[in-house]
Amino acid sequence: MSTDLTTFAGLLSTIEDPNGRELLDPATGEVVGRTREGSTADIDTAVAAARKVQSDWASRSSEERSELLNKAADAVEASAEALAELLSREQGKPLNGPNARFEVGACAVWLRANAAFELEPEVLVDDEETHAELHYAPVGVVGAVGPWNWPMMISVWQFAPSLKMGNTVVLKPSEYTPLSVQALVAVINEVLPADVLTVVPGSGEVGAALTSHEDIDKIMFTGSTKTGQAIMRSAADTLARLTLELGGNDAGIVLENADPAAIAGDLFWGAFINTGQTCAAMKRLYVPESLYDQVCEALVEVAKQSPMGVGLEEENVLGPLQNKQQYDIVAKLVQAAKDSGARVLTGGDPAADQPGYFYPTTLVADIDNDNPLVAEEQFGPVLPIIKYTDLEQAIGWANELEVGLGSSVWGSDLEECKKVAARLQAGSTWINKHGAVDPRIPFGGVKKSGFGLEFGLEGLKHVSVPHVISW
C-alpha cells in the first residue's frame, strides 16, 4: 500500500529516520522531524546508480521526459499543502506571503517550464562548401548541492533542466533543510523511474564527496562564495563542469524622478522576500537626498503592515532567521551600525529570551556606504538606506563590491532607468522591481557571485555538452 503524500504526517513518514538527527523549527524550537544522515559511501552508491540508468534516461525521447516532468509538477501540486507545511516548519518561512506556498508553487512552475523548453540544434554555417550544426548532448551525471534559504525551489532549479536534457542527478541538500528536499524528491519520485533523481542528505563533508567524485560530470552549486571556491578547487582534478550561484549584495538605486509611495511596496518586498534570506534580494538601497525622507517613511509604513511570526499562523508574512549562525550575523551587523551612529528607523532591538530566531524587521538610515551592514551580505530582515547626492557616486558605490548577482533601478523614466541599468555590474538588473526571477529568463552572477546561467534555453545549455557536427 503506498503512503499518502498529501498530508504532513504521511509525507514525513516516508522520509523520516526515527533514530536520525532532529531538525528543530526555527520559529518555536519544537522538533519537526528526524533526518537520516548520508555518508560518503552513500554518495558512491547514489552516483553509481545514477550512472547506470543515465543512458536509458537519455535514450528516451525529449517528449517523454517532458511528460514525466509535467507529471512531477502534478504530483507536487497534489501534495502542495503538505510540502508547504513541512517547508514552513523546517525552514521557518511563513505559509503566506512570498514564502512557503509560493516556493512550492514555484517548484511546479519551474518543472512545467523546463518540460516546455526544447533545445534545437543551431545551424552555424550553411553555405555552398560547409554546413555546421551545434547540437547539445546530456553531460551525464549531475551532482547538485544546495542552500537552506529556498531549499525546494533551488533544488528544482538544479534538477529540472538537468533531467530535461537527459542527465541523471544526485542532490545533496543543506544540512539545515534536509527534510524539505527529501520530501519534495519523494513526491516527484512517485512518477520518475528509479535512480534518475536521488537525494543524499548530509554535512558539507558529504557535499564535498559528491562534488569531488570522479564520476560526476557536472556540478550545480548554490551557496556561499567560500564553498564555491572550495568546489572549484576540487573540480580541477575531475574537470567536472561547473555552475556556481554564489552570494550577492544587491544594490537598488532610486532615481530623482521616482514616486516613493508608488514603489515602496515593491522596494520593501525586493529586500524582505523570505525575510531577507534570499541571494538576489536587495541588500542596500541608494536614495537621492531629495527623496530620502519620503522613501524612508514609506518603507517604515510597509514594514508596519507586514507581520512577522510563526510560519503556520496565516497572518504572518515574515518569519524567523533559519538558524542561530545567521541570526548572530544579522545581530552583529546591526549592532555595529548602531554603534557607528546610524539611525534605526524601525526594528534593531530583538527581544531577549524568545523561543525562535526572530530578528525584527529593521530599516537603517543615515548610514555610511563603508559600514559593514552595507558592505557585507547581511542575509536577513534588514535594509540599510544610503543617501546620495550625485548619481555617479551611487553607481560607483553599487559597483564597488566584489560580488555582482542582482541589482535594480527605480524611476519613472524607463529610458533613463535603462541607461543606469546598463552601467551596473551584475548578472541581472531589474527596473522598478527586484529579484523577479522567471523560468524563461536566464539568471546568474558575475564577479564573485559565480558563473554559469540557470533558466530558459541558456539553462539547458549549461547542463549539456556541445557537439558540433559538420560536413
Out of 79, 99, 189, 211, point to the residue binding ligand NAD (CB under 6 A): 211
* In the complex, least distance from residue 4 CB atom to ligand NAD, rounded to whole angstroms: 29
Marked catalytic residue, from 85, 90, 245, 454:
245
Task: For residue 103, state whether it binds ligand NAD (rule: CB under 6 A).
Answer: no
CA gap 276, 122 in Å, rounded: 40
Q: Does 360 bind ligand NAD (CB under 6 A)?
A: no
Q: Which of 214, 62, 55, 245 is nearest to 144 (CA)?
A: 245
**What are the start-end ranges of the E strands in 56-159?**
122-126, 131-138, 141-145
Question: In whole angstroms, how close is the CB of 407 to ligand NAD at the nearest point?
Answer: 13
Q: Smallest distance, Å, CB 163 to ligand NAD? A: 19
Size of the site for ligand NAD (CB under 6 A): 29
Spell out the residues 6+ positions from residue 133 whose beta carbon is closer than 8 angstroms to its own. 121, 122, 123, 124, 468, 469, 470
- Establish if 252 lies at the interface with ligand NAD (CB under 6 A): no
Contact with ligand NAD (CB under 6 A): which of 104, 141, 216, 246? Answer: 246
Residues 221-258 as b/e (b if ≥16 CB within 10 A, e otherwise) read bbbebebbebbbeebeeeebbbbbbbbbbbbbbbbeeb
Please give the DSSP secondary-structure letter assigned to residue 16. -
Provide the minimum distance between the beta carbon of 404 and ligand NAD in the complex, in angstroms, as a whole number. 11
Q: According to the binding rule CB under 6 A, does residue 235 interact with ligand NAD?
A: no
The secondary structure of 377-434, three-state, reads CCCCCEEEEEEECCHHHHHHHHHCCCEECEEEEECCCHHHHHHHHHCCCCCEEEECCC
Q: How far is the CB of 261 from ligand NAD (least distance, A)?
A: 30
Nearer to ligand NAD, 66 or 155 (CB): 155
Residue 222 lies near ligand NAD (rule: CB under 6 A) = yes
Give the binding range for ligand NAD (CB under 6 A) out of 140-148, 286-294, 295-303, 362-370: 140-148
405 near ligand NAD (CB under 6 A): yes
Residues in the chain: 471
Q: Which is nearer to ligand NAD, 145 or 267 (CB)?
A: 145
- Helices 80-91 and 8-15 pack at an angle, to 10 degrees, of 70
The DSSP bridge pattern shows strands 241-245 and 450-451 to be antiparallel
Q: How far is the CB of 459 from ligand NAD (least distance, A)?
A: 12
Hey, which residues does 466 pair with through a beta bridge? Answer: 136
How far apart CA 158 and CA 277 sit, in angstroms, is 19
Residue of 10, 105, 204, 350 that binds ligand NAD (CB under 6 A): 204
As a whole number of angstroms, the distance between CA 313 and CA 354 comes to 17
Among 192, 240, 279, 334, binds ligand NAD (CB under 6 A): 279
| 83 versus 200: smaller Cβ distance to ligand NAD | 200
Can 245 be counted among the known catalytic residues? yes
Closest alpha carbon to 77 in 158, 29, 142, 5: 5
Among 31, 34, 29, which residue's Cα sits nearest to residue 18?
34
**Subset of 152-191 contacting ligand NAD (CB under 6 A):** 154, 172, 174-175
Catalog residues that contact ligand NAD under the rule CB under 6 A.
145-149, 154, 172, 174-175, 203-204, 207-208, 211, 222-224, 227, 230-231, 245-248, 279, 377, 379, 405, 445
> Which residues are the active-site residues?
245
